[in-house]
Amino acid sequence: MRYPADPPTVEEIIAVMRQTGDNRHGWRLRALIVVLWRGGLRIQEALALSEPDLDPRRGSLLVRNGKGGRRREIGMDAWGWEQLHPWLTARLDLPVGPLFCIIDGPTSGRPWSSAGVRVELRRLAARAGVRRRFAPHQLRHAHAVELAREGVPLNIIQCQLGHANLGTTSIYLQGIDTEEIIAAVHTRRAPMMSATAGLRL
């Protein structure tokens, strides 16, 4: 089933993050939310990350096999890296494998499933009182909308999201509220022209 773009607000995302526990399970979930939201990754791209794909010094993440088999490097802000840090530290005690792995039991260190992630996000969103759909892809939409609001050029948003064409990126920006569009256009300055040009058309 296809859902309309209805990205959660910053307040809603933070409310969900606050519901994660202060333990390995909570740090892992908080880190995944951050990678989806502040990096704009698809859920499968995030779950395929391994520790060597992260470069905190440059602030970049390497997506080795994005949609269509495309490889790309994306950026993530300093706040996002801060939120990722507790999980990166805890991950060192687990067997080598994907960055976001199973923590307990005999399958420890193996890949975490996207179905398991979706169940966790729904549970936390309900506990946080978020009354809209809260799925991994919604966080990707929130990332795109926030970049657009911050004035990031559309072609950079396209590269960050790994879209083959600009049309797909523009669909992501449908989450921008009509009131924002009206306010942005309403506050435009009057046309400027040289005083020597006169008023003749």
**pLDDT at site 200:** 56
Domain ranges of the chain: 10-176
Residue 148 · residue 134 · CB < 8 Å = no
45/48 Cα distance (integer angstroms) = 5
Between the two ends of the chain, the Cα-to-Cα distance in Å is 53
User: Alpha-carbon torsion 132, 135, 141, 147, what sign?
Assistant: positive
In the chain, which residues have pLDDT < 70? 1-5, 166-201
**Measured distance CA(89)–CA(60) in Å, rounded:** 18
Token output for 40: 């704009």
The two structure tokens encoding residue 153:
């050029």
Is residue 80 within a helix (H) or strand (E), and if so which, with residue range?
Answer: helix 78-91
Return d(Cα 190, Cα 97) in angstroms, integer. Answer: 58
Taking domain 10-176, whether its CATH number is 1.10.443.10 is answered by yes
Give the SS3 label for residue 175: helix
Whether this prediction's pTM lies above 0.75 is answered by yes
The confidence score (pLDDT) of residue 148 equals: 82
Contact 63, 52 (CB under 8 A): no
- Per-residue model confidence (pLDDT) at position 155: 78
Q: What angle do CA 15, 21, 24 make, to 5 degrees?
A: 130
Question: Contact at 8 Å (CB) between 170 and 154?
Answer: yes
Q: Which two tokens stand for residue 105?
A: 């039991």
Which residues have C-beta within 8 Å of that of residue 18, sequence separation ≥ 6? 128
The CA distance from 75 to 130, in Å, is 28
